[in-house]
């Protein structure tokens, strides 16, 4: 069996290659660029990949729907597949993904952003650089203990975040599409209660999947519904938040701070107004990086499904498309 691994990003790359090499009867091509990936597809049976921008995803989909295509399984290393879903995932090919593999690490990153903003870490870094001891900063510091965290979206990342937040003594409420009770949170509400829940929260963490329904879910009205001075953390997708509205809310003080691992667009242009907004931390979409445990989960998921495919068994974490 021949496998094409389109390694757009280095996340788990070395470990995936190592694990693929241990699978008997498996030959694989590792390519970093779209062009070589398209060239490698003919004759292969499996494609391992990250999500990609719609234009690139569309080229892959066209190749997979052309006469003579031999790919019968696609496995996404990334949790999101928005680019390919917009292009149209090809029918007749089983699609799976690394469900929850990096959720714990992303949740940890979300906690880091919350803590950094509340404990005034950016200001401390400036004072340290300037060799300046100024305890006035203490008056602006906040503690997570006793605060209310509203998590928008309670999938793998949201649940991992809820567990960590409760360990910090936070009250945790969630807003989800299903509104199903969950033992990791104190209360769950449906999306129709979003604005009411936002008004209860000291910190709002966004971990919901990007869909047509959730595009700009956090808009000017949602930000106005927040408790004044609340903190916003986004580890989902940049377009879930209306960034223009967020900038306005930050400048007015309606939102007290924002920690963003995702932006719209990415990379965020150097001239974007978001960079100049007060009390903002922007990390370059690396919330899932840095965990050996996550890397092992990603690589194990690839190999497990590959072995299942070879044995004619049902695959794990299959996407309904």
The catalytic site residues sit at 237, 266, 285
Q: How far apart are CA 161 and CA 35, in angstroms?
A: 38
Contact yes or no for 97/75 (Cβ under 8 A): yes
**Strand arrangement, sheet containing 171-176:** 187-190, 171-176, 148-152, 203-206, 230-234, 255-260, 280-282
Provide the pairing of β-strand 2-6 with 46-49: parallel
Beta bridge partners, 125, equal none
Closest CA to 31 of 13, 48, 6: 6
Closest CA to 238 of 272, 261, 211: 261
Contact yes or no for 151/174 (Cβ under 8 A): yes
Q: How far apart are CA 208 and CA 153, in angstroms?
A: 4
């Amino acid at each position: 069996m021949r496998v094409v691994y389109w390694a757009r990003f280095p996340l788990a790359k070395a470990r995936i290659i190592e694990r693929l090499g241990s699978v008997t009867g498996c030959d694989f091509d590792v390519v970093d660029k779209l062009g070589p990936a398209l060239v490698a597809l003919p004759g292969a049976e499996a494609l391992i990949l990250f999500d990609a921008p719609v234009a690139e995803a569309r080229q892959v989909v066209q190749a997979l729907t052309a006469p003579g295509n031999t790919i019968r399984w696609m496995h996404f290393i990334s949790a999101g597949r928005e680019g390919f879903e917009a292009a149209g995932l090809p029918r007749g090919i089983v699609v799976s993904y690394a469900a929850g593999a990096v959720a714990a690490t992303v949740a940890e990153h979300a906690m880091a952003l919350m803590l950094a903003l509340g404990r005034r870490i950016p200001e401390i870094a400036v004072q340290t650089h300037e060799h300046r001891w100024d305890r006035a900063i203490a008056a602006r510091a906040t503690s997570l203990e006793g605060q209310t965290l509203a998590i928008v979206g309670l999938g793998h990342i949201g649940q991992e975040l809820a567990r960590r937040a409760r360990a910090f003594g936070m009250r945790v409420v969630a807003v989800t599409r299903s509104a199903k009770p969950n033992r990791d949170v104190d209360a769950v509400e449906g999306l129709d209660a979003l604005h009411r829940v936002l008004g209860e929260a000291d910190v709002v963490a966004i971990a919901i999947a990007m869909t047509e329904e959730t595009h700009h879910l956090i808009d000017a009205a949602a930000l106005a519904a927040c408790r004044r001075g609340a903190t916003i953390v986004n580890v989902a997708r940049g377009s879930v938040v209306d960034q223009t509205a967020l900038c306005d809310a930050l400048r007015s003080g309606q939102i007290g701070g924002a920690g963003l691992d995702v932006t719209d667009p990415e990379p965020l242009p150097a001239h974007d107004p978001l960079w100049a907004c007060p009390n903002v931390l922007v990390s370059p979409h690396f919330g899932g990086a840095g965990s050996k445990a996550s890397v092992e989960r990603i690589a194990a998921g690839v190999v497990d499904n590959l072995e299942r495919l070879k044995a004619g068994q049902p695959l794990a974490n299959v996407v309904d498309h």
